[in-house]
Structure 1
């Protein structure tokens, strides 16, 4: 399944990923500077949440596209059960 992002969806996912990238860079700098463990973990948790939200947004977009493009899925030979199993695996990978 090829994802196609448009406009606001693309911008939202990219913003979340850039935010996570900045937070991870901040965590690395904090560790190099010997900052307080609690501060490092707090920043790391924020980066993790940003990545999770980006992942969920990607999965939600994929789900929407799968549900609205049944003809293409059928042409690819994927059954409803196969699609369900694949999407379940994606959701669980972020849990």
Structure 2
């Protein structure tokens, strides 16, 4: 997972990852239209899934950072919610 030098995830990083995922998905659609083999399509779909998973991790990392930074003493319920989001993505 990439972060800035300060350790924080930026909206630009998340957006960049999602654009990459969208490009990969567009490539899958072109492969389908071209009649590429199931194996080729599945390999690309796996790459799309991995890319989306990485974007989700960036969003979660940003959410957790925000929970910790928003208060001098983090709210346990907000941290618990952030962790619940993490577990739902597994």
TM-score by length of 2: 0.78
Q: How many residues align?
A: 81
Q: Distance in 2 between matches of 1:54 and 1:67?
A: 20
Q: Distance in 1 between matches of 2:17 and 2:83?
A: 23
- Structure 1 counterpart of 2:83: 88
Q: CA deviation at 1:83?
A: 2.0
CA RMSD in angstroms, aligned pairs only:
1.8
Alignment of 1:59-74 (within 5 A): 59-70=60-71
- Name stretches of at least 5 consecutive residues in structure 1 with no aligned partner: 1-7, 74-78
Indicate the structure with greater helix content.
Answer: 1
- Structure 1 counterpart of 2:42: 41
TM-score by length of 1: 0.74
- Name stretches of at least 5 consecutive residues in structure 2 with no aligned partner: 1-8
Q: CA deviation at 1:93?
A: 2.3
Contact 2:64-2:79 within 8 A present in 1 as well: no
Q: CA deviation at 1:37?
A: 1.1
